[in-house]
C-alpha cells in the first residue's frame, strides 16, 4: 500500500515538475511566447488550488478508494491531453484539466494514509511517500528530458500516462475500500460540510501553518537556478548534476527522517529541521562564487532540512481533523498549499531584480522572508503538537 501510494505521488509530482524544464522544447514547436508558457506553467497550480475548495464539501461522503480512482483517472486523461496538444489553447486547457484532478488526488491519498496508519507510525509512512519529490528530481525529470530530447517534447507525458495506468489498475485490483470514516459521518449538505470545516478555528490554524510552510518552501525556487548560474558561478551544463545529487540526498534522508520522527517525536524533529533550515537559508542566499564541492553539501543540507519539515508537518497536521472531516480538511489544505506556493512565486518576482549581466539582486531578502515564515510556523506547530499529544 505504501509503495503504491508513493508511486501515485511520484506521477503527480513528476507531471507538475516536468513542464517547466520542457520549455526550451515546447515553446518553438507550439510557437509560444514567454508569457504564454508562463501561464501554461502556473495554470496547473491555480487549477489544483481551486479544485480542492470545490470538492471539499463532498470529499468525506464517499469511499476514499472510489474517489481516488475517479480523480486519478481524470488526472491521467488530462496528462494524455497534454501529450496530444498541438497548440497553445489545447495545451493550456489540458494543464487546467490535469491540475483540476491532480489537486484532489494528493489530498485523497493523504486522507487514506491518515485513515489506515496510526499516528505513531505516520512519520515513517510520510517519509516514504514524500520521497516522491526527491525521486522525481533524481529519476523523473532527467529521464523525461532525455526522452524528450531524443524523441519529441510530449513523450514524457506519454510515459506518465503509462505509469498512471499501472497505478490505476493496481489500486483497482489491490486496494480494499476505505470507508471507515462513513460510520461517524453526520448527514450534512456539501455546502454545510465545507462551511463547518472552514469555520473550525482549530482547522484554520492547521491551514495557516500549511500556507506558511508552503511559502517558505517555494519562495526561493523560482530564481534558484538563475542565482546558482549568475551569482554562485555554476556552469549551466552542471545544473542537472547539482539537482540530481541534491535530489538523491532527499531520497536517502526521507525514510530515515520519518522513522526518527516516530521514535523521538515529530515536533522535535520538526523544530530541529526548522533550525537547520534557518541556518542553511541564510548561508545559501548570501553565497558568492562557490565551487561545486562546497555548494552541493550546502544545498543538500538545505533541501534535507526543508524536506524534514514537510515530512514531520504532514504527519502532525494529519492528526488535526476528525475522521469524518479528514477528506475536506486535506482537500482545503492542499488548495491552500498550492495557492500559497503561487503567492510565494509572485512575491519572489516582485522582490528580486536582475542586473544587465544576469546577476540576481535581493535574493537575500527572500531568505529573510523564509526565516520569518519558518519562525511563525514553528510557534503554530508547537500548539498543534501539544493538542495532538493531549488527544
pLDDT band, very low/low/confident/very high, at 284 (cuts 50, 70, 90): very high
| Helix spans in 23-87 (H) | 23-30, 34-56, 64-84
Could you report the per-residue pLDDT of 291-337, keeping only the tens digit for each? 988 999 999 899 889 888 888 888 888 888 877 777 788 878 878 88
**Contact by Cβ (8 Å): 363, 227:** yes
The architecture that CATH gives domain 2-174+194-390 is: Up-down Bundle (1.20)
pLDDT of residue 294: 92
pLDDT of residue 181: 67
Distance CA 211, CA 117 (A): 25
Q: Give per-residue burial for 342-369: e unless 16+ CB within 10 Å, then b.
A: bbbbebbeebbeeeeeeebeebeebbeb
pLDDT of residue 369: 92
The alpha-carbon radius of gyration of the chain (Å, integer) is 20
Could you report the per-residue pLDDT of 69-107, keeping only the tens digit for each? 999 999 999 999 999 998 889 999 999 999 888 888 887
Residue with more model confidence, 232 or 141: 232
pLDDT of residue 97: 92
Go through the chain and tell me how many residues it has: 391
The closest of 391, 380, 370, 33 to 223, measured between CA atoms, is 370
pLDDT band, very low/low/confident/very high, at 338 (cuts 50, 70, 90): confident
Residue with more model confidence, 268 or 136: 268
Q: Is the pLDDT of residue 24 over 90?
A: no
Distance CA 256, CA 267 (A): 16
Amino acid at each position: 500500500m505504501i509503495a503504491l501510494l508513493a508511486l501515485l505521488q511520484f506521477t503527480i509530482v513528476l507531471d507538475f515538475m516536468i513542464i517547466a524544464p520542457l520549455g526550451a522544447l515546447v515553446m518553438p514547436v507550439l510557437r509560444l511566447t514567454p508569457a504564454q508558457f508562463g501561464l501554461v506553467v502556473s495554470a496547473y497550480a491555480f487549477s489544483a488550488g481551486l479544485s480542492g475548495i470545490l470538492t471539499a464539501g463532498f470529499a468525506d461522503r464517499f469511499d476514499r478508494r472510489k474517489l481516488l480512482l475517479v480523480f486519478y483517472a481524470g488526472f491521467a486523461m488530462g496528462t494524455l491531453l497534454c501529450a496530444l496538444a498541438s497548440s497553445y489553447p489545447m495545451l493550456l486547457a489540458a494543464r487546467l484539466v490535469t491540475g483540476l484532478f491532480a489537486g484532489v488526488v494528493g489530498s485523497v491519498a493523504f486522507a487514506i494514509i491518515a485513515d489506515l496508519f496510526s499516528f505513531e507510525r505516520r512519520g515513517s509512512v510520510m517519509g516514504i511517500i514524500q520521497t516522491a519529490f526527491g525521486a522525481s528530481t533524481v529519476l523523473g525529470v532527467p529521464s523525461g528530458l532525455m526522452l524528450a530530447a531524443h524523441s519529441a517534447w510530449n513523450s514524457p507525458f506519454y510515459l506518465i500516462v503509462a505509469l498512471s495506468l499501472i497505478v490505476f489498475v493496481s489500486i483497482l485490483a489491490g486496494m480494499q475500500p476505505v470507508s471507515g470514516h462513513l460510520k461517524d459521518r453526520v448527514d450534512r449538505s456539501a455546502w454545510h460540510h465545507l462551511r463547518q470545516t472552514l469555520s473550525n478555528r482549530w482547522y484554520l490554524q492547521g491551514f495557516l501553518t500549511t500556507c506558511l510552510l508552503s511559502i517558505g518552501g517555494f519562495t526561493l525556487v523560482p530564481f534558484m537556478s538563475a542565482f546558482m548560474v549568475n551569482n554562485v558561478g555554476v556552469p549551466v551544463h552542471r545544473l542537472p548534476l547539482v539537482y540530481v545529487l541534491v535530489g538523491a540526498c532527499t531520497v536517502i534522508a526521507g525514510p530515515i527522517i520519518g522513522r526518527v520522527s516516530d521514535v523521538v517525536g515529530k515536533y522535535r524533529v520538526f523544530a530541529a529541521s526548522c533550525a537547520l533550515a534557518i541556518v542553511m537559508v541564510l548561508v545559501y542566499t548570501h553565497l558568492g562564487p562557490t565551487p561545486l564541492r562546497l555548494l552541493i553539501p550546502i544545498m543538500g543540507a538545505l533541501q534535507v532540512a526543508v524536506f524534514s519539515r514537510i515530512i514531520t508537518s504532514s504527519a502532525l497536521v494529519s492528526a488535526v481533523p476528525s475522521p469524518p472531516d479528514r477528506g475536506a480538511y486535506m482537500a482545503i489544505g492542499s488548495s491552500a498549499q498550492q495557492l500559497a506556493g503561487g503567492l510565494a512565486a509572485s512575491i519572489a518576482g516582485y522582490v528580486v531584480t536582475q542586473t544587465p549581466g544576469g546577476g540576481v539582486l535581493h535574493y537575500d531578502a527572500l531568505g529573510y522572508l523564509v526565516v520569518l515564515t519558518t519562525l511563525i510556523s514553528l510557534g503554530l506547530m508547537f500548539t498543534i503538537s501539544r493538542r495532538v499529544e493531549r488527544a
